[in-house]
């Protein structure tokens, strides 16, 4: 049996921009993606701490160390610049993978710079 598990998260990142006129997705600083093991075009779940919105979208890689967390397309209506979000990457694991599995957790400051990673 496969279980749907938290694979990684970027915790309390700050939205830096919203652009409605775009195909749609979330743009994430490449350094944060690397630290969390999130790939470009990977689907993620996003929770907006400020307004309670939750949505699923795919990731676009922003320049490394840019601090960019940008909502694009329809997702831009689900948050505002300055809102705090949590980005969750989900994985399917079988029972044998669960024994030693731990998700990658990335914590950031108000400028989306990594403060710690586990």
Which residues, including other chains, have CB under 8 Å from residue 101's CB and lie 6 or more apart? 5, 93
Distance separating alpha carbons of residues 11 and 35, to the nearest angstrom: 12
User: What Rg do the C-alpha atoms of the chain give, in angstroms?
Assistant: 14
Is residue 22 among the annotated active site residues?
Answer: no
Q: Is residue 66 flagged as an active site residue? A: no
> Tokens in use for 87?
């980005």
* Active-site position among 58, 66, 89, 96: 58
**Residue numbers annotated as active site:** 25, 58
């Amino acid at each position: 049996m496969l279980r749907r598990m938290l694979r990684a998260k970027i915790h309390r990142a700050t939205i830096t921009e919203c652009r409605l006129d775009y195909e749609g997705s979330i743009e994430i600083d490449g350094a944060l993606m690397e630290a969390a093991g999130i790939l470009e075009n990977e689907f993620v779940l996003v929770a907006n701490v400020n307004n309670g919105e939750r949505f699923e979208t795919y990731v676009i890689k922003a320049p490394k160390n840019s601090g960019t967390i940008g909502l694009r397309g329809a997702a831009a209506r689900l948050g505002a610049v300055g809102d705090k979000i949590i980005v969750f990457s989900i994985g399917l694991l079988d029972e044998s993978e669960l024994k030693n599995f731990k998700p990658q957790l990335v914590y950031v400051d108000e400028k989306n710079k990594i403060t710690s990673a586990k």
